[in-house]
């Protein structure tokens, strides 16, 4: 029986040693020390041993029981400690790792184009002027020679706030505001970038979009000055070999008036899908300031003349970057916006 005890001891110690988890250790404990465990069974069968051997075997078996219990406990404790340490290792912050870079952001493509337009005209001696988005009917129409009931008001389906106030349909009211502010001093040379609003909504029209207005008033300003200014603008914006074309048009606040085209930036003027085979792309409206507008704004049309133009920023950005749908500018899709960094 002593041999059996020795065998059992070796076996149990080996299993404790091998146990890899707290669960396995528990199994070993049950296997040897549990109610139906092997050591327990051996102790129970002590009665079958010769009477003179019983005290020795009993003592040894009980001692072994204690030793095994202690060995299991020690192992349990060390496993607990290991586990804790493992967690600690996992959660430890490695201060030598590089930080997460903050993504710095960038300008919106419309802001980039707006800035480019501004730069070009600032270089020509223009100053930046601003007017309100909610504009009076007087500045938006009346002072620009568009009287009530004039059919030209229909060209720009508008958002009215009250019968007298509306969201401006163009940046042209800033022409009047800038002249009123400066009159009778000369020259006036301003550009007016800003938001404008019309009741349109499709792939090439948004109810809110951006324009940049230009105005120059002085003695002896001619149509040639307008043309030269616009040609320089087109070349700065779209490339040195740009051509422009002026077509007769109508605006109540300019006379004569023109629609201005640039040679198609896709085909260079040969004719393609983008320019509908014409070789030209319309980019802005312009003209000589109407004498009545000069007078309303405080200048004597017999002494001074001026030119004005207005361009759509989205239109220019779409042409320059080859963008087919204007709504992309306003949908805040980073996959689109990140392409302009």
Sheet architecture: strand order including 244-251: 127-128, 188-197, 208-218, 305-312, 280-289, 254-263, 244-251
Q: Do residues 259 and 341 touch, judged by C-beta distance below 8 A?
A: no
Nearer to ligand PHE, 233 or 251 (CB): 251
Minimum gap (Å) between residue 303 Cβ and ligand PHE = 21
* Count of residues interacting with ligand PHE (CB under 6 A): 11
Per-residue burial over 176-214, b if 16 or more Cβ lie within 10 Å, else e, is bbbbeebbeeeebbbbbbbebbbeeeeeeebeebbbbbb
Q: Which stretch binds ligand PHE (CB under 6 A): 25-33, 223-231, 233-241, 285-293?
A: 285-293
3-state SS class at 341: coil
Return all residues near 15 (Cβ < 8 A) that are at least 6 apart.
28, 31, 32
285 binds ligand PHE (CB under 6 A): yes
Which residue of this chain has its Cβ atom nearest to ligand PHE in the complex? 310
**What does residue 28 show for φ and ψ, rounded to 5 degrees?**
-60, -40
Nearer to ligand PHE, 174 or 237 (CB): 174
Q: What character string, x for contact with ligand PHE (CB under 6 A) and - otherwise, covers 163-202?
A: -------x-x------------------------------
Q: Which stretch binds ligand PHE (CB under 6 A): 77-85, 91-99, 283-291, 319-327?
A: 283-291
Minimum gap (Å) between residue 190 Cβ and ligand PHE = 12
Among 254, 263, 279, 288, binds ligand PHE (CB under 6 A): 254
Among 308, 313, 317, 326, binds ligand PHE (CB under 6 A): 308
Question: Which of positions 203-222 make contact with ligand PHE (CB under 6 A)?
Answer: 213
**What does residue 332 show for φ and ψ, rounded to 5 degrees?**
55, 35
């Amino acid at each position: 029986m002593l041999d059996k005890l020795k065998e059992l001891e070796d076996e149990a110690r080996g299993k404790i040693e091998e146990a890899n988890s707290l669960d396995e250790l528990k199994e070993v404990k049950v296997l040897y020390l549990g109610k139906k465990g092997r050591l327990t069974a051996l102790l129970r069968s002590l009665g079958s041993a010769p009477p003179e051997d019983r005290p020795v075997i009993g003592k040894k078996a009980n001692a072994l029981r204690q030793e095994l219990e202690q060995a299991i406990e020690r192992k349990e404790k060390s496993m607990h400690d290991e586990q804790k340490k493992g967690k600690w290792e996992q959660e430890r912050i490695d201060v030598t790792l590089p930080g997460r870079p903050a993504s710095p952001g960038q300008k919106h493509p419309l802001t980039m184009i707006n800035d480019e337009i501004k730069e070009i005209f600032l270089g020509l001696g223009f100053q930046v002027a601003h007017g309100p988005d909610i504009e009076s009917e007087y500045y938006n129409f009346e002072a620009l020679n568009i009287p009530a009931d004039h059919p030209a008001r229909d060209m720009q389906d508008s958002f009215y706030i009250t019968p007298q106030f509306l969201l401006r349909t163009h940046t042209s009211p800033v022409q009047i505001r800038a002249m009123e502010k400066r009159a009778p001093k000369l020259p006036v040379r301003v550009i007016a970038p800003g938001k404008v609003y019309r009741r349109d909504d499709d792939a090439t029209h948004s109810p809110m979009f951006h324009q940049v207005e230009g105005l120059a008033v002085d003695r002896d300003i001619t149509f040639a000055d307008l043309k030269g200014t616009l040609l320089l603008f087109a070349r700065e914006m779209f490339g040195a070999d740009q051509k422009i074309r002026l077509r007769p048009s109508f605006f109540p606040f300019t006379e004569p008036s023109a629609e201005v085209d640039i040679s198609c930036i896709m085909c260079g003027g040969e004719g393609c899908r983008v320019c509908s085979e014409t070789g030209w792309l319309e980019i802005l409206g312009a003209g000589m300031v109407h004498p009545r507008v000069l007078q309303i704004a405080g200048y004597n049309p017999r002494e001074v003349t001026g030119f004005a133009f207005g361009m759509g920023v989205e239109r220019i950005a779409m042409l320059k970057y080859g963008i087919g749908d204007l709504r992309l500018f306003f949908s805040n899709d980073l996959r689109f916006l990140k392409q302009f960094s």
